[in-house]
A and B are shown apart, each in its own frame.
Chain A
């Protein structure tokens, strides 16, 4: 879901489709794994991995600014960089599967929750849920309660008009690249520890995020949040009531349905 928000954030503010987010997701997970293994401390390694993810996102944006080289070329550039990052990860870590060395306080089930409501919840999941809601609130605050967010929204409405009243579109683009990159890195650090690492792991969350973005509508953050909650609800229902194998198809099926019935998504508005 956060990947979707990060992606849509970039698109809304600077008309920039970044297909490399999936690979940044992979890279950050691998880096965090690597830093943890050479044991330089949990928080420090997470921070370092996240910083690299953000820097990479800014770097890609720097080279692929759609305003400079055209939107198609910039999309092609992000695709090439996605393949490049994936290739580099494969080159250094090989095609083996790795699993995250979880710290003991994150590995087990939460006792308090188990005793009060009787549902076993992994601590990692709990952390992910609470932190992602906090991030969501933070993004909302940034967008609707700060001067920066005012600028973003102005840019999303009309770029040339916004520049006319003194919004620095170039700087805002870089800031939104940083925000997008940090959202993706955070999603990676929160989600990947509960699974295994492999070089093309980033594509599945990216495509699920795309499904969510299509359902919610490109260029609408509110739609993305609502769609993310709705899609994951349907996903879980299918997972438990029908069959786990079909649940992977849910985001795509919903996206296909949305495209057929309401092409711009639930809340989308496309120029």
Chain B
């Protein structure tokens, strides 16, 4: 995690100068939001090694909160964003407290089922939650393409910076220590569960916020936001970008979202290409190119890695 890895993101300000911008601006917005989503996933997964397989849940939750408030109650955009933050933070606490107390894979398995739960809820209450069609007519942030792009970009960069600062702070260090050895953290008089829950809540809040921005930029939400492909793509893109680097997952998600138009292939083909690359990386582990996942404890002791 190096501070200068954040700089390439600034070049994104120049993108609207290119002629293809008008065609792909919505793809770019989506790619930015996915970048934030993946970076927020990385705060918990990359540092503490607790894989959240339901990151789409918080994204969708934020999006639906904003959409409902905006359509039904006519709330303004700052209000909806604040509400989304609050809702996802509370939800993060509610889910994190029971499931992060225990070690092991329970957390991953449990979070994987959450998006399904919410997807079902949207079908159970079609009148309130829009059912299969979703909710339309959300108050838009900006009606021009460039306006929405810059708004999304500013949000993305700001969250990236905040996530980076959290990662570089003392709390971030404790989170990383949790990933290495939970017992060692406990031996130092710190409560691992508190820090895990803190990491999860931070991760949820930024996922919820990006969902809220999604609703406000695109003007609609749909149950597809909760699909497994979103949650699991986040995991794959995070691994691709380099766990625990914050900026890496952001770039990986951004670039992968741009793959289909860039290569002229469909979403399915892009998924196939991306997963094959990730699988090869996972097996081969070109550790100098990208330290993909923190290697096992024994190896860490053998060659101490710089961070």
Is B98 interfacial (CB-CB < 8 Å)?
A: yes
Binary interface profile of B, 113-126, with partner A (CB < 8 Å = 1, else 0)?
A: 11011001001100
Is B78 interfacial (CB-CB < 8 Å)?
A: no
Cα(A24)–Cα(B51), bound, Å: 22
Question: In A56-115, which residues have CB < 8 Å from any B CB?
Answer: 63-64, 69-70, 72-73, 75-77, 79-84, 86-88, 90-91
Closest residue on chain A to residue B283 by CB atoms = A63
A259-B99 contact in complex given A63-B283, A213-B109, A246-B124, C-beta closer than 8 Å: yes
B contact residues around A263 at 8 Å (CB): 98, 101-102, 106
Is A249 interfacial (CB-CB < 8 Å)?
A: yes
Question: In A199-240, which residues have CB < 8 Å from any B CB?
Answer: 200, 203-204, 207, 210-211, 213-214, 218
Question: In A239-254, which residues have CB < 8 Å from any B CB?
Answer: 245-246, 248-249, 251-252
B235, chain A: closest CB distance, angstroms: 5
- The answer on a CB contact under 8 Å between A210 and B113 is yes
Is B132 interfacial (CB-CB < 8 Å)?
A: no
Is A31 interfacial (CB-CB < 8 Å)?
A: no
B114, chain A: closest CB distance, angstroms: 8
A203-B282 contact in complex given A76-B235, A87-B268, C-beta closer than 8 Å: no
B contact residues around A88 at 8 Å (CB): 272
- The answer on a CB contact under 8 Å between B232 and A79 is yes
A243, chain B: closest CB distance, angstroms: 8
Binds A, one of B1-9, B208-216, B289-297: B289-297
Is A164 interfacial (CB-CB < 8 Å)?
A: no
- The answer on a CB contact under 8 Å between A249 and B105 is no
- The answer on a CB contact under 8 Å between B282 and A69 is yes
Cα(A95)–Cα(B103), bound, Å: 38
A84-B272 contact in complex given A207-B112, A249-B117, A263-B98, C-beta closer than 8 Å: yes
Dominant SS at the B interface?
Answer: helix
A150, chain B: closest CB distance, angstroms: 25
A contact residues around B190 at 8 Å (CB): none
- The answer on a CB contact under 8 Å between B123 and A245 is yes
B214, chain A: closest CB distance, angstroms: 21
A259-B98 contact in complex given A79-B53, A84-B276, C-beta closer than 8 Å: yes
- The answer on a CB contact under 8 Å between A218 and B279 is no
Binary interface profile of A, 105-134, with partner B (CB < 8 Å = 1, else 0)?
A: 000000000000000000000000000000
Cα(A76)–Cα(B235), bound, Å: 7
Is A184 interfacial (CB-CB < 8 Å)?
A: no
A83-B229 contact in complex given A256-B110, A263-B106, C-beta closer than 8 Å: yes
Interface size class of B (residues with CB under 8 A): 35 or more
Pick from A17, A70, A81, A86: contact of B279, CB under 8 Å: A81
Is B49 interfacial (CB-CB < 8 Å)?
A: yes
Is B136 interfacial (CB-CB < 8 Å)?
A: no
Cα(A11)–Cα(B109), bound, Å: 13
- The answer on a CB contact under 8 Å between A91 and B272 is yes
Is A155 interfacial (CB-CB < 8 Å)?
A: no
- The answer on a CB contact under 8 Å between B271 and A83 is yes
Question: In B239-273, which residues have CB < 8 Å from any A CB?
Answer: 239, 268-269, 271-272
Is A264 interfacial (CB-CB < 8 Å)?
A: yes
- The answer on a CB contact under 8 Å between A255 and B276 is no
A contact residues around B114 at 8 Å (CB): 252
Is A260 interfacial (CB-CB < 8 Å)?
A: yes
Cα(A260)–Cα(B285), bound, Å: 38
- The answer on a CB contact under 8 Å between B279 and A248 is no
Is B30 interfacial (CB-CB < 8 Å)?
A: no
B94, chain A: closest CB distance, angstroms: 10
Q: Max chain B CB contacts within 10 Å: which of A63, A87, A210, A218? A: A87
A contact residues around B104 at 8 Å (CB): 218, 270
- The answer on a CB contact under 8 Å between A87 and B283 is no
Q: Max chain B CB contacts within 10 Å: which of A75, A80, A246? A: A80
Cα(A69)–Cα(B113), bound, Å: 26
A contact residues around B294 at 8 Å (CB): 72
Is B233 interfacial (CB-CB < 8 Å)?
A: yes
Cα(A218)–Cα(B294), bound, Å: 25
Binding site for A on B (CB under 8 A): 49, 51, 53, 98-99, 101-106, 108-110, 112-114, 116-117, 120, 123-124, 227-229, 232-233, 235-236, 239, 268-269, 271-272, 275-276, 278-279, 282-283, 285, 292-296
Binding site for B on A (CB under 8 A): 11, 17, 19, 63-64, 69-70, 72-73, 75-77, 79-84, 86-88, 90-91, 200, 203-204, 207, 210-211, 213-214, 218, 245-246, 248-249, 251-252, 255-256, 259-260, 263-264, 270
A-B contact pairs, 27 of them (CB 8 A): A17-B108, A19-B112, A69-B285, A73-B282, A73-B292, A75-B105, A76-B51, A76-B278, A76-B282, A76-B293, A80-B282, A81-B279, A83-B229, A83-B232, A83-B233, A86-B271, A88-B272, A200-B227, A207-B113, A245-B124, A248-B116, A249-B117, A252-B116, A252-B117, A259-B106, A259-B110, A263-B102
Not counting A19-B112, A91-B269, A249-B117, a sample of 13 additional A-B residue pairs whose C-beta atoms are within 8 angstroms of each other reads A11-B105, A72-B51, A75-B51, A77-B283, A80-B282, A84-B272, A86-B271, A87-B268, A91-B268, A200-B228, A256-B110, A259-B98, A259-B99
